[in-house]
Amino acid sequence: MIYAFDLDSTLTKKETLPFIAQNMGNAAAYCNICEETANLPYSDALNKRLAVFAAYPPKKIAEILNSVPVFAGLQNFIIENRDNSFIITSNLDIYIKKLRDKFCCKVFSSTIKNGKIQIIDKEKIVKKLQQKDKVCFTGDGENDANALKIADFSVAASYAKKANELAVKAAKFEAFTENDALMYLKSLPK
């Protein structure tokens, strides 16, 4: 069994981009961008939201994200299953360097190439992982819905905040607490 996880509000107790904005003192600007991009396709909206942080050193952002609270039970589960656990996140690799080290597993994340953000396709990553074994994907967002739908097992994470409606519909199980998610994960065939 392969365990794959979204990062924001699945492994972290808060959404990371608003957490960065709050800690960098530009929460209002970030909220304005979120309102302006609410009806855009996910990748377009994410690109505009990430642009808010372009002037800040990535090392400083990585330091901030290192302090975001995480779900300790899920963190321990991933560490115990590190050889078959993966994080699949739209976050930029340069921002999550320190945070990902807390989980001791492989991470698939968005990158910057030739000055352009390359947003990861979670569905493609799940399909790639399914070539090795059955996959359980855990996520909470609209951008997780396709990966949740195609995974062999899937969890809509409604414990940090209510999971997006599309994610809930796509998942095979909805977890309302971290313990719900852990019980489900531990019940899966090895």
Dist CA 155 CA 172 (whole Å): 6
Q: How many domains does the chain have?
A: 2
Query: Are 107 and 144 in a shared domain?
Result: yes
Dist CA 60 CA 152 (whole Å): 38
Query: Are 45 and 124 in a shared domain?
Result: no
**Tens digits of per-residue pLDDT, 24-40?**
888 888 889 889 998 88
Average pLDDT over residues 180-190: 95
**Tens digits of per-residue pLDDT, 76-129?**
999 999 999 999 999 999 999 889 999 999 999 999 888 788 999 999 999 999
The enclosing H or E element of 173 equals strand 173-175
Query: Are 49 and 80 in a shared domain?
Result: no
Domain span including residue 47: 16-64
- The whole-model pTM stands at 0.93
Give 110's Cβ-side CA count (13 Å radius).
19
Q: Give the CA angle between residues 36, 38, 39 to the nearest 5°.
A: 105
Residue 70 C-alpha from the chain's centroid: 12
Dist CA 135 CA 4 (whole Å): 7
Dist CA 157 CA 175 (whole Å): 5
